[in-house]
Amino acid sequence: MPHQKTILRALAGETLPTPPIWMMRQAGRYLPEYKATRAKAGDFLSLCYNSDLATEVTLQPLRRYDFDAAILFADILLLPQALGADLWFVTGEGPRLSTITDRAGFDRLKPVAEIHETLNPIYQTVRNLAGELPKDVTLIGFAGAPWTVATYMIAGQGTPDQGPAHALMRDDPAVFEALIDTLTEGTIEYLSAQIDAGAEVVKIFDSWAGSLKAEAFDRYCVAPIRRIVAELKNRHPGIPVIAFPRQAGDAYIGFHARSGADCVAVDDFVTPEWVAENVQTDGCVQGNLRSSHMVTGGDDLVRETRRIVEALKGGPHIFNLGHGITPDADPDNVQLMIDTVRGG
């Protein structure tokens, strides 16, 4: 039964003797079977939009490892593509998009109501997974947070400091806020459709939240996430939501209450002891092993994994990395992490 799934129990606020485990980017480039499937698809976007192959790569890590959850294989930039942005990936460099830097660029976007035509294959992947996952594995859907997605749409690519987005926020606030509002509405529709298709939990990734400070953090990170969470819970009572305002630092404090999220995922820039004292007091937390341990392994991985489990054992906790696993990770280290969490 769904209520027996460990992830859902932790999200409901239960402190478990052993934390459930999943891993950001667990279906991905560190696995040879993923590389083979991607080669079969031809390119990254073709893989995302091929429901059968996207289902396959989502299931691959569950054949190797006893994870407690699967996360939909997709990308946070599929929503801007569905809104009409051009999107492509440069090998070895990452995503590229057509840019929005003025009102004319914003006005070229499609209405939010039209996104589902593009995103229907993603919903089919969710439906596939809902029918194929083991009964004790939780299915997680996801989207990027409006601020993070906006940074890519404004700059046309990832940037070190999100400077172009900050510049548009300052120089043309009307266009910037219109974009944030459209992305907030689009994210609600996108995640709601994933839930309708079978997602049991959704996660909002605000990967660049840390570049927002003070009032801007509240206005462009917290407020959009709060609006998304509130509307999802209005449409889908009881749906759990995980929020990940990466590099939020002290702004992690109180984020549960300010955003309405059931769980706050934390990065590895904060210690698990600090998280226990300042964040876990408000509800479930997720994290926060450094991704580099998946590369180096050994005693350091075991020691740090045990430290996190020990520090966060007093409250609801989902064990995860502080960011996504990297392509150079050793698959054997993933098993070592899982064994260590579970007492091996």
Query: Which residues does the annotation mark as catalytic?
Result: 25, 29, 38, 75, 152
Distance CA(171)–CA(148), nearest Å, equals: 19
